[in-house]
Amino acid sequence: MIPRDDIVAGIANTPLVALLSELEEVKPSPRLRPLLEFLTDIGLLQRKGDKYRKAQHLSRPYEVSPLADAVSELFQQIVLPHIVAGRRVARLTMELQRALYAYTSAFQNMRVVVAQELMRYGGLTLVAGWFPCGFSSELMSISGRDVVIMEEREELVALEMDRLSLIPLASAPLGQELAAASFYAFENLPLNELKAVLEKYGKFDAAVACQRGADLNALREAAQEVYYIKPRDSVMLFLNEAFLDALGLTRPLDEEKALKKAEKEEVGPFDVYVLRSTG
Amino acid sequence: MAVLGVGGVGKTTYVFRLLGLSLKPRATLRPGIYRLYLRDKEVDFIDVPGQVATEVARNFAKAWTFYVDLMIYMYDLTDQSSLYAIAELHSALLDRGITPYKKVVLIGNKRDLAEELGLFVEGDEIANAVSAAKIYYMSALKDNIDVLYKPLEEDI
């Protein structure tokens, strides 16, 4: 369901891991400990007391995939500066935009399965935060949905806007029928400004949030059904959280309470919570 | 790249298999785009709704707004009408005076079913009519993934 080997290969191929593999032992500061714990979790280091050393059977991949390349770039340019120095990414270069875009493809199979197996046909659907899971055209083609994508940084969705422009655009929501065009729209807004989106589009049939900090109670008011998706895989969780923080995107906070009444489905290494409106 | 053909020939099954998914797809209602990484190539695969009536196909051709490196026309090896519909779709596109692709190939799908039924509709004539560079006969449902990747590897 997720190309975990590619993601781990991408991290293994960074200069940081190359450097660590040349050191006998490392005793990190409390700030760096979560990073080294993460590298231990994915098998690149091993822990000995409060120190870390390279894993005994660390093999560096000879040939890496485009996704692994993207993860290497993102780990080096975004994750590491954020964890080490608390740096945020002010401007996304085209290389980083492309790498972030490639990263969202890691979630493509999950998106397809959610759209096909869990969602009903038709209706206006809000994607509350496009990154990191990248819900978009699968909702249109597989579930016949009309889609509004809300994202907090415009550069993040620039490539998706460009790609969706290949699809003929319907001038208004189509409903459920078979069509040669799709209705899709992008809104560059903070996730807590749902009111503005509601005023423009009216109430939604569904909303999708994937490891993003949309207010689930507000989403429940705004849509008949809310799909909240959370990876269980520790690599995905760690990377997604680091990306969200470094990019200044709203990360999930205290969603457990709102999800207590949700139906829960498992899709591969993801938990999909479905909240239905009582109205 | 894009895949075009009438409804039920297996376009989305083919895309899903390329993505590594073995799901039986629902009917595709709208165009969709899937991302594949083929070695060093980024491939965006456009899957379009299947069309039954010629009139709807013509309407679809009018809405066609993209230029692709590879157009895959797909038909069902057990259904002659799905092959002839390719010619209809092709002429509907050309009627607009455009050639919206760099290269075109023809895929005859459901080879397993055709062999089982002993009913194998050859695509040579239509392939010539639409200037397809190659014809591939396959089972998107059952063939090994290497077979399914051949049109992408050989023609992009």
Distance separating alpha carbons of residues A221 and B6, to the nearest angstrom:
40
Given this model, what pLDDT does residue A89 score? 96
Cross-chain Cβ contact B19/A109 below 8 Å: yes
Cross-chain Cβ contact B29/A181 below 8 Å: no
Written as six digits, the tokens of A40 are 């231990």
Given this model, what pLDDT does residue B122 score? 96
Given this model, what pLDDT does residue A86 score? 93
The pLDDT of residue B59 is above 80: no
Bigger pLDDT: B152 or A55?
Answer: B152
List all residues 6 or more positions away from A69 whose beta carbon is below 8 Å from its beta carbon: A10, A99, A102
pLDDT tens digits, A94-108: 999 999 999 999 999
User: Which of B21-35, B37-51, B68-82, B114-128 comes out lowest in average pLDDT?
Assistant: B37-51
DSSP secondary structure letters along B80-135: HHHHHHHHHHHHHHHTTT---EEEEEEEEE-HHHHHHHT-----HHHHHHTT-S-E
- Whether residue A128 contacts residue A207, with contact meaning beta carbons closer than 8 Å, is answered with yes
User: Which of A13-27, A97-111, B49-63, B83-97 comes out lowest in average pLDDT?
Assistant: B49-63
Q: What percent of chain A has pLDDT over 70?
A: 97
Q: Give pTM, 2 decimals.
A: 0.94
A-B Cβ pairs (cutoff 8 Å, strict): 99
Q: Are strands A223-231 and B2-4 parallel, antiparallel or unpaired?
A: unpaired
Architecture (CATH level 2) of domain A107-232+251-276: 3-Layer(aba) Sandwich (3.40)
Give the chain B residue nearest A103 (alpha carbons): B35
Q: Pick the closest to residue A249 from A107, A74, A131 (CA basis).
A: A131
Q: What is the ipTM of this complex?
A: 0.91
Cross-chain Cβ contact A166/B30 below 8 Å: no
- Whether residue A35 contacts residue A82, with contact meaning beta carbons closer than 8 Å, is answered with no
Chain A residues within 8 A of B21 when measuring between CB atoms: 109, 112-113
What's the Cα-to-Cα distance from A158 to each of A109, A126, A139, A164, B144, rounded to whole Å? 22, 18, 19, 10, 36
Three-state DSSP class for residue B143 = coil
The pLDDT of residue A27 is above 80: yes
Q: Pick the closest to residue A136 from A186, A87, A98 (CA basis).
A: A186
Structural domains of chain B, with CATH: 2-155 (3.40.50.300)
Map tokens 């990190």 to a residue: A28
DSSP H stretches of helix in A1-107 = 4-12, 15-22, 33-41, 66-74, 80-85, 94-104
- Whether residue B32 contacts residue B46, with contact meaning beta carbons closer than 8 Å, is answered with yes
Map tokens 């009536």 to a residue: B53
Cross-chain Cβ contact B31/A182 below 8 Å: yes
A182 vs B: CB within 8 A:
yes
Q: Are strands A124-128 and B2-4 parallel, antiparallel or unpaired?
A: unpaired
Cross-chain Cβ contact B65/A112 below 8 Å: no
The DSSP 8-state label assigned to residue A216 in this structure reads H
pLDDT tens digits, B23-35: 999 888 888 899 9
Of A144, A166, A179, which has the smallest distance from its Cβ to B46's Cβ? Answer: A166
Total Cβ atoms within 10 A of residue A278: 6
Q: Are strands A124-128 and A184-188 parallel, antiparallel or unpaired?
A: unpaired
Q: Which pLDDT band, with edges at 50, 70 and 90, does A274 fall under?
A: very high
Bigger pLDDT: A261 or A82?
Answer: A82
Cross-chain Cβ contact B46/A144 below 8 Å: no
Average pLDDT of chain A? 93
Written as six digits, the tokens of A46 are 């091993």
The pLDDT of residue A189 is above 90: yes
Strand order in the sheet with B32-38: B32-38, B41-47, B2-4, B68-76, B101-109, B135-137
The arithmetic mean of pLDDT across residues A38-64, rounded, is 83
Q: Are strands A270-276 and B2-4 parallel, antiparallel or unpaired?
A: unpaired
User: To the nearest whole angstrom, how far is the Cα of A178 from the nearest Cα of chain B?
Assistant: 5
Distance separating alpha carbons of residues B68 and B61, to the nearest angstrom:
14
A65 vs B: CB within 8 A:
yes
Given this model, what pLDDT does residue B64 score? 76
What are residue A210's DSSP bridge partners?
A: A229
- Whether residue B48 contacts residue B31, with contact meaning beta carbons closer than 8 Å, is answered with yes
Distance separating alpha carbons of residues A62 and A13, to the nearest angstrom:
9
Written as six digits, the tokens of B6 are 């009438």
Question: Letter for the amino acid at B67?
Answer: Y
Q: What percent of chain B has pLDDT over 90?
A: 60
Given this model, what pLDDT does residue A39 score? 94
